[in-house]
Amino acid sequence: MNVSDLRGILAYIPQFREKVFVIAIDGAIAASENFPNLVLDLAVLRSVAIKVVLVHGIAHQLKQLSLLLHTDLSDTTGIGITDQKTHELSLIASSKVTFQILEALSASDLRACATNAIIAHPFGIVSGVDYQLTGRINKIDVPFIEYLLQKNIIPVIGPIGFDGEGKSYRINSDAVAQCMAEALHAEKLIYLTTYPGILDNEGNLIRELDVQAAQEFHKNFSKSQPEQLRSKLEHAIHACKNGVNRVHIIDGRMDEALLSEIFSNTGIGTMIYANQYESIRPARKKDIGAILKLIQEPIESDEILPRKAVDIARDLQSYYVFELDKQIVGCMAVYPYPKTSQAELACLSVAKSHENQGIGRKMIHYAEKLASQQGFKQLFLLSTRAYVYFMQKGGFKEADPSILPLERKIKYEKTGRNSKVLYKPLQ
C-alpha cells in the first residue's frame, strides 16, 4: 500500500466511523490462501472505527468432511433437508470455521467472540416435505451483538440457529448475513465469495445494480449462473428493500478485495444499492391532513409560507411526501414555471422526530431530478430561516430576486417576507 492509498482510505473515515458492516465469508473463502490477508483488511476496518460483524458459511468444509468420511449429505446449503447426520457434520464444520476465524483474528490482535445470537425454529414441513433440522431465523439477539460491538469485540456468527429448548438448526449463511444486516441497520453487507461478482449473460462483471434492476435481473437470471450467486443476489435484494443501503458481492480470493471495494468509487465486485427515492411519492388527497400537520410549526415560526387545506388540494399534483413505515415524515412541493424553464422547490418540511437523517437532502435531490427530467433548467427556492441549510447541504447559491419568474416575483414582493432567493442550475 502506498501513501495515496492511505489518503484514499482516510477520506472515507468520517462517512464510515462507528457504522456497522456485516461481512459474510463463504466457507471456501475461509479455507482460501487469501484468508490471512482478509483478516488484515478486517484489522484496517477496525482501526478506522468501523464495527465489523462476521458471518460465515460452511458448505466447502461440509463437502470436505463428507469426502473424508465417505458420507452422503442431505444438503450442503442450509436450504434443503438437513438430516441428523448432516446436522452433526454441520456443527463440526461450523466449529472448525469459527475457530479458524478466531485464530486468525487473534493473530491480528483483534478480540472476537463466537455467539448464539440467531434464534431459530424448525423450517418445518412444507408441501409434505419435512426439512428436519433445517431452521428458519426467528430473530436476531440484537442487544447481545450490540453489546459486543460496544466493547470492540467482533461477533463471529456461524450458520447455526438456536431455539429456547437447547436445540440447534442449520441455516443458510447468506440468510443469516442478510437478517443480521437488517437487524443492526448495517451500513453495508458484504458477501465474500469465490466469484468476481454478478456476471451478465456475456460473462461481463456487472459493477452496480439498483434494487429494481437487481430484481429484474434476478427474474431473468440464467440457469447457467451459479446457485451461490443467485442466493446472494436474492438476499442482497431483500436487504436493500429492508433498509440496508448497499450490498457488495466480491471475490474474497483476491488480495485487498475488501479494501478496494469499500474504499474506492469503482469497487471491484458488484454493488447492489437501495433506491434512496423509494420512500418519496406524489401526494394523494388523503395526505393533506398529514402535510398540514408537518408544516404547522414551520408556518408558525415563519419558515414556510402559510397555506391551507384548500391551497394544498388545489396544487396537489405539485406535492410530494416522504413515507416511512406508512407514516408521512416529510413533504415538499415542486411548482413548474414552464415559460422561464424554472421550477420552484417549496414547502419542504421534515418531521421533528425524523430530522437529521438525510430526508431533507433526499427530497432536495429528488426535486432536482424531477425538475431536470421535466426539462427545467433551474430550480429556485425562497427561504427565510433555512437558507444556510440549502446552501451548505443542498449546494444552492444566493441570487437576486430579479431571477424569479414574473408572477412569482409579484407574489414575493406582496408577502413582504424578504426571503432569500436561492437557485441551482439543473443539468
Ligand X SMILES: CC(C)(COP(=O)(O)OP(=O)(O)OC[C@H]1O[C@@H](n2cnc3c(N)ncnc32)[C@H](O)[C@@H]1OP(=O)(O)O)[C@@H](O)C(=O)NCCC(=O)NCCS
Residues 372-391 that bind ligand X (CB under 6 A): 381, 383, 385-386, 388-389
Residue 395 touches ligand X, criterion: CB under 6 A: no
Other CB atoms within 10 A of residue 367 CB: 25
Q: How far, in Å, are 140, 180, 243, 315, 345 from residue 22 at the CA level?
A: 13, 7, 13, 45, 38
How many H helices and E strands in the chain? 15, 21
User: What is the nearest approach in angstroms of ligand X to the Cβ of residue 336?
Assistant: 18
| 236/280 with CB nearer ligand X | 280
CA distance 176 to 19: 19
For residues 229 and 195, is the Cβ–Cβ distance under 8 A? yes
The C-alpha cell that represents 153 in the structure block: 469485540
| 93/364 with CB nearer ligand X | 364
| 34/349 with CB nearer ligand X | 349
User: What is the nearest approach in angstroms of ligand X to the Cβ of residue 348?
Assistant: 5
- Out of 393, 397, 411, 417, name the contact with ligand X by CB under 6 A: 393
User: What is the nearest approach in angstroms of ligand X to the Cβ of residue 329?
Assistant: 9
| 300/407 with CB nearer ligand X | 300
User: What is the nearest approach in angstroms of ligand X to the Cβ of residue 81?
Assistant: 48
| 314/385 with CB nearer ligand X | 385
| 269/330 with CB nearer ligand X | 330
Binding mask 291-310 for ligand X (x = CB under 6 A): -------x----xx------
Other CB atoms within 10 A of residue 111 CB: 13
Binding mask 205-244 for ligand X (x = CB under 6 A): ----------------------------------------
User: What is the nearest approach in angstroms of ligand X to the Cβ of residue 27?
Assistant: 41
Nearest to 228 by CA among 260, 191, 258, 186: 191
User: What is the nearest approach in angstroms of ligand X to the Cβ of residue 287?
Assistant: 16
| 388/406 with CB nearer ligand X | 388
For residues 252 and 2, is the Cβ–Cβ distance under 8 A? no
Q: How far apart are the first and last CA of the chain?
A: 38
CA distance 151 to 311: 54
Which is it for the CA torsion 105, 106, 109, 113, positive or negative? positive
Binding-residue total with ligand X (CB under 6 A):
20
| 233/382 with CB nearer ligand X | 382
- Residue nearest to ligand X as judged by C-beta position: 360
User: What is the nearest approach in angstroms of ligand X to the Cβ of residue 245?
Assistant: 15
Residues 325-364 that bind ligand X (CB under 6 A): 348-350, 355-361
| 17/111 with CB nearer ligand X | 17
Strands of 236-361, DSSP E: 246-251, 270-273, 280-282, 319-324, 327-337, 342-350
The C-alpha cell that represents 86 in the structure block: 448432516
Helix axes 227-241, 211-219, angle to 10 degrees: 140
User: What is the nearest approach in angstroms of ligand X to the Cβ of residue 305?
Assistant: 8
Question: Look-up: residue for cell 407574489?
Answer: 411
Helices (H), 188-287: 211-219, 227-241, 257-262
CA distance 142 to 147: 8
The C-alpha cell that represents 298 in the structure block: 414551520
User: What is the nearest approach in angstroms of ligand X to the Cβ of residue 263?
Assistant: 22
Residues that bind ligand X (CB under 6 A): 298, 303-304, 348-350, 355-361, 381, 383, 385-386, 388-389, 393
